[in-house]
Amino acid sequence: MSKVRFHIATSLDGCVAGPNESPEEPLGQGGEALHEWAFELAAWREPHGRDGGEVNASTPVIEERQANVGAGIMGRNMFGPVGGGDWGDASWKGWWGDEPPYHHHVFVLTHHEREPLEMEGGTTFHFVTDGIESALDQARTAAGEADIQIHGGASVARQCLNAGVVDEFELDVAPLLLPGGVRLFDGIDPDLRIELARAVDAPGVTHLKYTVSR
Amino acid sequence: MSKVRFHIATSLDGCVAGPNESPEEPLGQGGEALHEWAFELAAWREPHGRDGGEVNASTPVIEERQANVGAGIMGRNMFGPVGGGDWGDASWKGWWGDEPPYHHHVFVLTHHEREPLEMEGGTTFHFVTDGIESALDQARTAAGEADIQIHGGASVARQCLNAGVVDEFELDVAPLLLPGGVRLFDGIDPDLRIELARAVDAPGVTHLKYTVSR
């Protein structure tokens, strides 16, 4: 059975980005530190085309979340710099170079139409202008029996939670505070019911996995 | 070396109480559920004068935090119902009956003077009207080589964090959301440096322990 799931790094005060997001600091001031625990991991480096790296308690967590993903969904602000407007000459192809680390169909929510963008390594970005339900329908078709991963950002993850379509999520809680940052759960549906599935104590991060019901 | 430490239950969205705190619901709407994981534990029941209970992964965590505490600090709103004013006929003796679960000297921050209140079982409440530094000084004297525990609420814990006097803290992250509730880290000093000491995966809760530096 195909699941809809996401994972996201948060600060201890529940922020997924620091204050003052900008093209130079897409994760806001201090937000890059949310991901420090990941950068040295072999399990993170390999899909990002880098050699070497460590194996630790985070490794099986990363491997599990990378497995069995058939399609992805992402917000416009995760695909490109904050802002909006149309796609201009369509030269922007995401943050990830020629070979993004997804290797599946990714449905990007946007207000502006654009032709699908086929990248190296099996990632194709599709631009969806008719809302999150439509993106989910298309992702379901693309994924088949495999899972759908919400790649972010926080706003899309929250919309999916509030729409009742998320089956599980995992927070990578990093040991830092980002006061004034972007809070994952701002505006969350108070009737959402969550259950703790498991917690993993790893170097510099805690992985907290939850299942969702309503 | 005596440490200053606290532990507090938080929701996944970082709240230590639900919205609309009142005398009937001192933890706000839905806030009681933050502590559900604890009520069935023998390690919680015994100091609260109740028999029986379970032993699980939370047990050593609770035992550790109850050990070596020489004095405590608490806010007025934790000692009594929300509100203020003077102590009237001083008939209010806390939420905990004749034998509170502290068994040491507890310094209650208040704007209103009151004589010390000696309870059964070794707990004495002292009412401190000249601020948190004074309460800490008195607690240090009372504690000697043992630790000082900040019993709460969130506002006192945050004041102590911002004053740079906290050595470590542990969050009991419960699997629920309390939108509109009381956030532990609202107004926290962004220059606080925290490090993950350990995480414990227990039934219905995750214990996240951090050390603090500046």
Q: Å from A63 to nearest chain B CA?
A: 20
Measured distance CA(B141)–CA(B107) in Å, rounded: 12
CA proximity to B23, closest of B95, B100, B119, B98 = B95
Give the pLDDT of residue A83. 63
Domain boundaries, chain A: 4-20+27-84+99-213
Note the pLDDT tens digit of each residue in A175-207.
999 999 999 999 999 889 999 999 999 999 999
Note the pLDDT tens digit of each residue in B107-119.
999 999 999 999 9
CA proximity to A108, closest of A65, A70, A77, A84 = A77
pLDDT of chain B, 214 residues: tens digit per residue: 799 999 999 999 999 999 998 878 888 999 999 999 999 999 988 877 889 999 999 999 999 999 999 999 999 988 987 666 788 878 889 988 999 989 999 999 999 999 999 999 999 999 999 999 999 999 999 999 999 999 988 999 999 999 999 999 999 999 999 999 999 999 999 889 999 999 999 999 999 999 998 6
Measured distance CA(B194)–CA(A176) in Å, rounded: 6
SS3 B77: helix
To the nearest whole percent, how much of chain A has pLDDT over 70?
98
Whether residue A206 and residue B205 make contact (CB cut-off 8 A), yes or no, is: no
Give this complex's ipTM.
0.83
Note the pLDDT tens digit of each residue in A163-178.
999 999 999 999 999 9
The closest CB to that of A175, out of B30, B183, B195, belongs to B195
Contact residues, chain B to chain A, C-beta under 8 Å: 12-14, 30, 171, 173, 175-180, 183-185, 187-188, 190, 192, 194-196, 198-201, 204-206, 208, 210
CATH of domain A4-20+27-84+99-213: 3.40.430.10
Residue of A nearest to B177 (CA): A190
Q: Å from B190 to nearest chain A CA?
A: 6
Residues of B in contact with A204 (CB under 8 A): 196
Report how far apart, in Å, the C-alpha atoms of A8 and of each of A124, A171, B15, B87, B107 are: 22, 5, 19, 48, 40
Residues β-bridged to residue B170: B7, B209
- Structure tokens, A142: 């693309």
Report how far apart, in Å, the C-alpha atoms of B48 and of each of A83, A85, B68, B70, B103 are: 55, 61, 18, 18, 11
CA proximity to A35, closest of A119, A147, A148, A152 = A152
Q: pTM for the whole thing?
A: 0.89
Question: Residue B71 carries which side chain, given as an amino acid letter?
Answer: A
Q: What would the 3-class secondary structure string for A199-213 be?
A: EEEECCEEEEEEEEE
SS3 B28: coil
Note the pLDDT tens digit of each residue in A1-37.
799 999 999 999 999 999 998 878 888 999 999 999 9
CA B47 to chain centre: 15
Please give the CATH topology (third level) of the domain spanning B4-19+26-82+99-213.
Dihydrofolate Reductase, subunit A (3.40.430)
- Structure tokens, B209: 């322990």
SS3 A3: coil
Cβ distance B42 to B55 under 8 Å?
yes
State which H helix or E strand residue A109 sits in.
Answer: strand A105-109
Only one residue has tokens 């009991």, namely B172
